[in-house]
Amino acid sequence: MKTKNFSKGIAAALFLLAMGLFIAMPSPAAAKAQTNTLQVNKTYTKYDVTGDKKADTFLVSAPWDDRYKTYGRYEVFINGKKVISAKDNGANFSYDVKIQRLELNSGKVYLSIVAPIDNGDIPKAAVYQYKSGKLKKAIDLDAMDKIGYHNSVRNISVSGNQIRVTYWEASHSLGAISFRLDYQDKSGKMVQKTTKAKLLETSQAKGAYWTANRTMNVFKSPGGKKITTLKTGKKAKIDQIYINAKHSTVYLHVKIKGGKSGWVKGLTKYPGSGKSLFKEVVYAG
């Protein structure tokens, strides 16, 4: 009888021990979103840039012209293999080569390469993802031709499973503006999540009124029902910009002084001298 009870006691103790180990066992930690700023002409060996959870050899190489203080066309190498050649990127020169490694919570890894030239323009700047032995463009950072010109990027960061890009643009609608678009992975493709973006900067002081330079229809939502008219000479505050995923449609959110709020159609090309939407708009050369 004692032997039987002793055996039961041992079994119970082993069960409790196993349960304790199970409860105490830490679960695998999810990857933490992070951004690593990297340098041109420096070889890195501690970062995973291909997304396979293993450290890779990574180098962005660009010749430096000490006379003009500029870089020539850059090339990108991953594990000794050239994945972007000089003929495939940007202008013949740049004032900097800005490189960031972007890792999402999901563990997916991206690389941003931005090489600014005159006026801050960023020809062929992009966020890339390594797939099938190649760096493939995930976000075209220079696809703003219909929004305006002199497009540049102020900041790139990650949050959770999103990549956040703050743009500066000499827009056709308002002149100089800054706004942020968020991008998110969807079915293996990075897509623009934001369509209505807060205007972070304009040529006007924050909260200042803009004066309508023409009569414009005001809609309840972008492409929605007309609710009123913003007449020439009337004033309105502007706090948001709508940009569709193809960057082919633009609206501005207006708060009419003493009137309603809604959306007016923005411009996708330069309107010509004296034909801006608002009198305060200044276009850069």
For residue range 182-195, list pLDDT tens digits in order: 999 998 899 999 99
Residue 10 has a pLDDT of 47
Instruction: Tell me how many domains the chain contains.
Output: 1
| Residue 191 belongs to some domain of the structure | no
| Residue 183 belongs to some domain of the structure | no
Average of pLDDT values for 130-154? 94
Helix, strand, coil content of the chain in percent (nearest 5): 10, 45, 45
Indicate the DSSP class of residue 147: T
Class of residue 83 by CB neighbours under 10 A (exposed 0-12, middle 13-18, buried 19+): buried
Class of residue 91 by CB neighbours under 10 A (exposed 0-12, middle 13-18, buried 19+): middle
- CA 98, 203, 184 angle in degrees (round to 5)? 45
Return the sign of the alpha-carbon dihedral for residues 216, 219, 223, 225.
negative
Residue 87 has a pLDDT of 83
Dihedral, CA of residue 226, residue 183, residue 33 and residue 153, to nearest 10:
-100
Cβ contacts of residue 285 below 8 Å, gap of 6+?
Answer: none
Order of strands across the sheet that contains 58-61: 58-61, 75-78, 81-84
Quote the pTM value: 0.87
Lowest mean pLDDT among 9-18, 198-207, 218-227: 9-18
| Residue 63 belongs to some domain of the structure | yes
For residue range 107-127, list pLDDT tens digits in order: 999 999 999 999 999 999 999
Q: Are 175 and 284 contacting, i.e. CB atoms less than 8 angstroms apart?
A: yes
Question: Taking 50 as the threshold, does the pLDDT of residue 23 lie above it?
Answer: no
| Residue 37 belongs to some domain of the structure | yes
| Residue 53 belongs to some domain of the structure | yes
> What is the band of 281 on the pLDDT scale with cuts at 50, 70, 90?
very high
Angstrom distance (rounded) from CA 190 to CA 142: 15
Class of residue 130 by CB neighbours under 10 A (exposed 0-12, middle 13-18, buried 19+): buried
For residue range 88-111, list pLDDT tens digits in order: 877 889 999 999 999 999 999 999
| Residue 131 belongs to some domain of the structure | yes
Pairing of strands 75-78, 70-71: unpaired
| Residue 114 belongs to some domain of the structure | yes
Give the CA distances from residue 246 to residues 75, 145, 170, in Å, rounded to whole numbers and listed in that order: 29, 11, 18
In the chain, the N- to C-terminal Cα span, in Å, equals 99
Range of the domain at 55: 29-140
| Residue 170 belongs to some domain of the structure | no
| Average pLDDT taken over every residue of the chain | 90
